[in-house]
Structure 1
Amino acid sequence: MSIQKFFEVLFCNLLFDIYDSKYLSYEPIVINTWPFYNCTNKAWEIIENNGSALDAVEAGCNICEQGQCSRSVGYGGHIDENGETTLDAMIMDGESQEMGAVGSLYKIKNAISVARKIMDYTQHSFLVGEAATKFALQMGFEEENLTTNYSIKEFKNWLDNKCQPNFRKNVLPDPKKNCGPYHQNVYQNIERSKEDLASDTVGVIALDFNRKIAIGMSTNGADHKIPGRVGDSPIPGSGGYADNSFGAAVATGDGDIMMRFLPCYQAVENLRNGMTPIDAANNSLQKIIKKIPSFYGAIIVMDKFGNHSASCHGWETFTYTYRTREKSARFIDIKCSKIR
C-alpha cells in the first residue's frame, strides 16, 4: 500500500469514528413488550443510578415475575395440562454475548435471576426442568409453590370445558372435544386457533450509560401447554438477541412458530447490514409471514444508539413501553398487519 493510500484510509476511518461517536445521537433507554410500565420504571431506575444494562433487564423482569404481569409472567398464571405453572427465561449480554436461560422451571419465582446465575456461575447456557430447579436451590433460591387460588380455578374450569384450549393434534380422542390421555392418530390433522395460542411474554431491552446493551425475557408460557413444553422466550435469537455493535431485539407471540425462524437474530443481522430498526423489524417478521400467514406475533428492535421501532402481525395492535430521561414511561401502539 502506498503512503498516499495509507493516509486516505486512515483519514476515512477517523471521519467514521468521529461521526459514529459524536454526530449520531445516543440515549440510554429501557424498552419492554406490552404496557408493563412498572417493569419499565424499575429497569430505568437501575440505569438512572448508573447500573448496568444486565442488572436493569433482570430487575425489570423480576417486577413482572413478582407482579404476575397479565398472568402471563411469573407464578400462578398460565398452567400446563397438569395444572402446574412452569417458567421460561433468558438473559443475554450484548458485550460478551454470553447468555443464561431456563426452561420449564418448577417452584422458583424469579426465573430471570436463575438464568443470570447460569450465565455468571456456569460454563453452560441453558438448564431445564427439575434439574434447573435443583441448580437454583444450590444458588440460594427458595423453593416456592407457584400455584395460586386463581390457577387452581383456571385448571378446574379447563377440565370442565373438556380441556379447551388444547395444544394436541393428530391424536385420539379428538383433543378439540375431549381430555386425555391421548394416543397417536395419523389420520387426524387439527389446526390451532389464535385464541387457543394466546400468550404474552415480557421482553426487556436496556442500553446503559456505558453504551452496553442487554436483553431479558420471562414468561410462564402458553396457557394449558403440554407439560415439558419450552417456548421461544429462552432461546437466543428467537425470544431475544443482543449485540453491542449493532443493537438488540425482543419478541412475543406464537413461540412454537417463532423459534423456527429466529426473528430476533435476523433483526440484529438486519441492523448489521444497515437497515433501520423499523425495516429490520418488518423484514424479520415477513420471513415468517411468507411461510405461515396465520402466524401472529410482534418484535421490538433497537439499534446501538437507542433508536427503536416495532412490527407486528395477526393482532389488531401491539403496545410496547419505553423510558429515557423522561419522568415517566411512554407507550407506543403499533398497528399490526392482518392475517389474509
Structure 2
Amino acid sequence: MVNRRRFLTLSSLSGLFPSLAFTTQSPPLSYASGPLVVSTWNQPKANAAAEAVLSRGGRALDAVEAGARVPEADPNDTSVGYGGLPDRDGRVTLDACIMDERGNCGSVTYLEHIMHAISVARAVMEKTPHVMISGEGALKFALSQGFKKENLLTKSSEAAWREWMKTAKYKPQVNIERHDTIGMLAMDTKGDFSGACTTSGLAYKMNGRVGDSPIIGSGLFVDNTIGAACATGLGELVMRTCGSFLAVELMRQGKTPQQACEEVINRIVKGPSIKDGKYVDGQGNLNDVQVGVLAVNRQGEIGAYSIQTGFNYTVSQNGRTEVREAKSFLSK
C-alpha cells in the first residue's frame, strides 16, 4: 500500500523526472509568477502531467484535469480511481469536482465503473445545465459521453477488503491510503486559476457515503480574483466548515494563504466534534483524524496546514518540483 508520507528519493525519480529538485538539495522555488501547479500529497507524476500542459501555454483547467487523471489511472493508488479501496459492500465509488477561472464547475458523486471521474465532472460542467450528478445518473451520463465502463476493483484492493471483512472494524487512519484525496490547483501563463479534486473516498465507508471532495466550497474552491484552495482528509470535518471556500474568503479579507489555511484548521479543531485532536463520531467513538488544507493566491504565495503532522504537498514551477512538509496544529 502506497504511503505518501514517505518522500520519493531523488535517485528513484531522476530517470523519470530529471528536472525534479527537492528543498533538501536546492533553494526554495520563487512563486512570484505563474505558471504554477500545487497538489496535495506526494504527487510528482500528477504535477508533471499538469505542468506539461502549462508549459505549452495551455489553460489551467486542462492542466488540473490532466494532473488528476494520473492517480485516477494508477492501480497502486488505493484512494483515487482505479485501484481505490471499496466501500464496506465491496463497491468502488468515486467522487470528483472541477472548477475554472470563470466560476464554472462540475461534480460527480457515487460514480461507479468509470476510471476518470474528473473528466466526467468536467463534462457535467461543460455539457449540462447542472453542477452535480450522482450515482446511476452519473454513470448513465458518463456512458452517454463515450466513457468506458470497467471494473475498478483491482485484485489487491479486493484482497484488502476481504481481509478487512474478517473484523469489519471501521476506523479512519491518519496519512495513509484511506482518505488521501488529490486536490490540485494551477495558475497558467495568463494568471488564471483552476482546480480539481478526485477520490475514491474513505475505505470501507458506508455504501452511499459522500465526502467533501466533490462539493464546491468544501473540497475545492476557485475565485480568479483572489486565488484557490483545496482540502484533503476526513471530509466530514471539511464539510462542516466549508473549508476551501473559507480559505479563499479569508484570503479575500487580506490573510496570506498560510494564515488562511491555519485559520481553517483552527476552526475545525475547535469544533464540537473534536476532542484533544481526535474526532468524536456519531457513535461517540474517538478516532485520530487528519485534515490538510492547501491554498494559493494571485501573487503565487502558497499556504498549507493540517491537524496532524505528516501532510505534505507538491509544488511545480519552471520545470522544477518540490515535495514539502506542511506545518500542523498538533506539532505546535
Scaled to the shorter chain, the TM-score interval is 0.7 to 0.9
Higher alpha-carbon deviation: 247-256 or 148-157 = 148-157
1:91 alignment partner in structure 2: 98
Is 1:129 matched with 2:135? yes
CA displacement, residues 218-271 of structure 1 (integer Å, 9 cap, x when unaligned):
100000011111110000111010011000001101101211111110110011
Relative to structure 1, the CA distance from residue 339 to residue 26 in structure 2 (aligned partners, 3 Å threshold; closer, same or farther) is closer
Trace 1:234-273 onto structure 2 (pairs within 5 A). 234-273=214-253
How much does 1:87 deviate? 0.5
Is 1:287 matched with 2:267? yes
Cα distance between partner residues in 2 of 1:277 and 1:217: 19
Check conservation: 1:28, 1:306, Cα contact below 8 A. no
CA displacement, residues 25-66 of structure 1 (integer Å, 9 cap, x when unaligned):
432200000111100110000001111000000000001101
CA displacement, residues 10-39 of structure 1 (integer Å, 9 cap, x when unaligned):
xxxxxxxxxxxxxx9432200000111100
Is 1:320 matched with 2:313? yes
Check conservation: 1:30, 1:323, Cα contact below 8 A. yes
1:218 alignment partner in structure 2: 198
CA displacement, residues 55-92 of structure 1 (integer Å, 9 cap, x when unaligned):
00000000110114631111222111111111100001
Query: What is the aligned-residue identity percentage?
Result: 37
| Residue among 31, 53, 63 paired with 2:60 | 53
Q: Which has the larger radius of gyration?
A: 1
| Residue among 303, 306, 311 paired with 1:309 | 303
| Residue among 222, 228, 231 paired with 2:208 | 228
Trace 1:133-212 onto structure 2 (pairs within 5 A). 133-160=139-166, 162-165=167-170, 198-212=178-192
Letter in 2 for 1:55: D
Check conservation: 2:222, 2:228, Cα contact below 8 A. yes
Check conservation: 1:91, 1:112, Cα contact below 8 A. yes
Check conservation: 2:93, 2:200, Cα contact below 8 A. yes
How much does 1:156 deviate? 1.3
2:321 alignment partner in structure 1: 329
SS of structure 2 residue aligned to 1:71: coil
How much does 1:198 deviate? 4.4
Check conservation: 2:83, 2:154, Cα contact below 8 A. yes
How much does 1:305 deviate? 2.2
Is 1:72 matched with 2:72? no
Structure 1 residue ranges, 4+ long, deviating more than 2 angstroms after superposition:
24-27, 192-198, 292-296
How much does 1:194 deviate? 5.3
Runs of 5+ unmatched residues, structure 2 = 1-30, 280-289
CA displacement, residues 110-144 of structure 1 (integer Å, 9 cap, x when unaligned):
00000000000011000111110000000110111
Check conservation: 1:198, 1:254, Cα contact below 8 A. no
Check conservation: 1:41, 1:328, Cα contact below 8 A. no
Cα distance between partner residues in 1 of 2:76 and 2:264: 26
SS of structure 1 residue aligned to 2:109: strand
Say which structure is richer in helix: 1
Aligned length: 288
SS of structure 2 residue aligned to 1:70: coil
Check conservation: 1:85, 1:106, Cα contact below 8 A. yes
Check conservation: 2:306, 2:328, Cα contact below 8 A. yes
How much does 1:193 deviate? 6.9
Letter in 2 for 1:92: M
Cα distance between partner residues in 2 of 1:334 and 1:34: 10
Relative to structure 1, the CA distance from residue 69 to residue 89 in structure 2 (aligned partners, 3 Å threshold; closer, same or farther) is farther
What is the CA RMSD across the aligned residues, in angstroms?
Answer: 2.0
Check conservation: 1:111, 1:218, Cα contact below 8 A. yes
Relative to structure 1, the CA distance from residue 154 to residue 193 in structure 2 (aligned partners, 3 Å threshold; closer, same or farther) is closer
Letter in 2 for 1:253: G
Q: TM-score under structure 2 normalisation?
A: 0.83
Cα distance between partner residues in 1 of 2:177 and 2:315: 26
1:19 alignment partner in structure 2: none
How much does 1:197 deviate? 10
| Residue among 38, 61, 67 paired with 1:31 | 38
